[in-house]
Amino acid sequence: MGAAGAVPLTGSDRLFLGELGSARDHRLHIALAARMPGPAPDSGELRRLVAESAARAPVLTYRLARGGWEPDPAFDPACHVVEYQVAPGRDVGAAVVDAVRDNRLLPEHPLWSLMVVHGYAADEHILCYRVHHAFQDGVAAARIATRAVLLGRAVPAPDPDVAVRAPAMARMRLLATAARLAAPSARLRPPPGRTGGTQSGARTFFLRLDVAAFREIAAATGASVPQVGLAVLAGALRAWNPAHWRKAGRRGTTVSFPLNLNGRLRDGGLGNGATIMPVVLPCAEPAARERLRGVMEQTSFERMAVYRRDRYPVRAPAAVFRLLRWLVPKAFPGRMTVSVIGVNLPLDGCFAVPPTYETGGGAVSMVYSDTTVVVSCVLSATLAHGDRLPRLMEEALHELRREVTR
């Protein structure tokens, strides 16, 4: 029997905790960072902010226990505060990545922390909400960070009654999705040329895109921000190595597009409440307008509704988890995961830090608001010339804008 209020692990919780890494592994940590004006708060102010945030969002007090999540009876705000000072003039994105990498989470406490990164400028600091990817998915993390931490709003407590056995058909749909992800697809292929020496570890790039261009494209085509973002990425990957996509039979590359289930599965924001929808980025299509059309057909509201039914079962035979663990490594090597997260904040500088575990491919996170679109791109060190992609995404966005508005 679990403790009162305990919430069982979902299948995706188990995959992230048991197969891909431990709670201490920073490569499985994700973060939402916000650039804040003025000097950094001191440790006392940070502890008060953590305590107040936990009172507004009970999920922040849940720790990992045997078989599930349970409230920590000895929750201590001091265990969730990290101060990280960097040298003046340091690149903001690189500083946040280093802060996430250098400060581990402790498995005996709730798997999150509030980090303040400062010193790079006299008139600004970063507040960074960092979590383990099993504790929360990207949308849940953004929701808690924005509502409870930055906006001071209440979030419902996690509901232990979500622990229902998924019907057999839902499990079959999930396995079918995993099989589609693992199906043969064109891998990411960097352009030829020297890489400048051997490198190790994933590399992270940050890029701010023109939100006005997104608005114009959406108005002209009826596309959503995520759809425009996927089409822009397809254009950038095509321009990255155009010869790779001219070969006969090579249409595009399959990416994993997470769909959040919070609000239906776990409104309190606990656990990795996401399912995956395969999307083929039409990199072989030479016309930017047609690339967007191809993305829109695959990511229609109706198709996403179907994939939202493929939620991971909370309880399932052990064979299901063994099969998923066998399929996941085969699905992701050389592939890319692309997530798009909307935030409602009166800030102009929010960005995500995706997980950095090495897959031979990459992860792209786009955070958008009314004022900005910021792209975070984590690429395998095995992909040469990855530093060209940010510029190519800017060019792909303007190419798409020209085609649909002329």
Is residue 126 over pLDDT 80? yes
> Measured between alpha carbons, how far is 255 from 183 in angstroms, rounded to an integer?
11
pLDDT at 235: 97
pLDDT at 1: 38
> Measured between alpha carbons, how far is 237 from 253 in angstroms, rounded to an integer?
9
Q: Which two tokens stand for residue 124?
A: 């600004």
Confirm if 188 and 252 have CB atoms less than 8 A apart: no
pTM metric for this prediction: 0.89
| Tens-digit pLDDT profile for residues 202-250 | 789 999 999 999 999 999 999 999 999 999 999 999 999 998 898 766 7
Of the ranges 185-194, 305-314, 325-334, which is most confident? 185-194
The DSSP call for residue 296 is H
> Measured between alpha carbons, how far is 5 from 73 in angstroms, rounded to an integer?
12
81 pLDDT band, cuts 50/70/90, is: very high
| Tens-digit pLDDT profile for residues 130-175 | 999 989 999 899 999 999 999 999 998 987 765 445 556 666 766 6
> Measured between alpha carbons, how far is 115 from 330 in angstroms, rounded to an integer?
34
336 beta partners: 255, 362
Higher pLDDT, 297 or 2: 297
Percent of the chain surpassing pLDDT 90: 53
Helix, strand or coil, per DSSP, at residue 177: helix
Question: Which residues have C-beta within 8 Å of that of residue 173, sequence separation ≥ 6?
Answer: 309, 310
Residue 126: closest CA among 143, 145, 139, 154? 145
Q: Report the range of poorest mean pLDDT among 137-151, 172-186, 288-302, 316-330.
A: 316-330
Beta-sheet strand order (sheet of 274-281) = 203-209, 373-379, 362-368, 336-342, 253-260, 274-281
129 beta partners: 32, 114
66 pLDDT band, cuts 50/70/90, is: confident
What number is the average pLDDT over the span 251-280?
Answer: 79
pLDDT at 2: 46
Residue 401: closest CA among 233, 289, 290, 298? 289
pLDDT at 308: 76
